[in-house]
Structure formats: structure tokens, C-alpha cells
Amino acid sequence: MISAKADSLIFQEVDAVFRFIALEFPKNYPRWSPEVSQLEPLQDGPVQLGYQVRQVRVDHGQKTDSIFEVSEMLTPHKVVFRGVTAPYVTTYEFEDLKASTRLTFSFELREVEARLRPFEKLIRIALQDGAKRTVKKLKMLIEKEMLDDY
């Protein structure tokens, strides 16, 4: 297993941050993850436990297609997405600091293909860089969007 984690202080209340990331996930996910070239909810209705999405990503020229689902949701504290067709877990945790929110993002690659094992160190570095970019992009988008609402 290879994991990465990053956090950021977002100057917005926890409910707004949770809504942007978890509840409005189909709309906003491609905005903070530009590697997503296609995103298709596999059901209608609100994002909730069991909600499934199909994504096509292009990371460093490598195209992947996977289905993932909400495997845990504790409003407004945590949402976890688990790969259904690929071995990964993505977790967003939200710490309520009243006028701001500490967002912690983590990504776990649960299995590494045998042919990629010699590159585990490079994969770990790439995942950690990706985690840092994710929280930085989320902070920027959420704070800008909330300013635009005023």
C-alpha cells in the first residue's frame, strides 16, 4: 500500500467546505482535479452512502477508467470514496474551527501492480505531490467562490 496525505486551513465554515467537496462532488470534482476528463454519476439523486461515479482520468499521459463510490459519509466531518473497479481510497476530513475549516485529504493506493513495484518510491512522491496540489486547489476554489458570493 502507498499513501499520501496533505492538509490546509480553509477560511470558510465547515458546512460550506463540506457542501462544496462532498455534496456538490459531481459538479466540483473536475474543477479541483483537472486530470478528470470525464465524470459520470451512475445514479440520480444526492451524493450519499453508496453513491457511485465513473471517471476517466489522464495522469501523466496514462488514461484510466474507474468506478468509485461513497463508502463513508459523516456530515459535515468526513467523506470517503472507495474504488470499486480499482484498489484506492480517497478520504476528505473536515475539522470545524468555527470561522475556518482544517481540510485533510488522504489517498491510499491499496495495491501496486507487480510490474510497477520497482517504481514505488516514484509513485509515492507523485501521490504526495498530488495530495498537496489537491488541498491547495480546493482552498483556492472554495475561498474564491465564497468571496464571489458576496
> Is residue 52's pLDDT more than 70?
yes
Per-residue pLDDT at 36 exceeds 70:
yes
Q: What is the mean pLDDT of residues 33-47?
A: 94
pLDDT at residue 32 tops 80: yes
**Single-letter code of the amino acid located at 32:** W
Residue 115 scores a pLDDT above 80: no
Which amino acid is located at 149 in the chain?
A: D
For the entire predicted model, the pTM comes to 0.91
What integer best gives the mean pLDDT of the chain? 91
Q: Give mean pLDDT, residues 82-90.
A: 94
In the sheet where 36-41 sits, what is the strand order? Answer: 2-10, 101-109, 88-96, 78-83, 62-74, 52-59, 36-41
* Domains and their CATH numbers in the chain: 2-148 (3.30.530.20)
Q: How far apart are CA 23 and CA 29, in angstroms?
A: 11
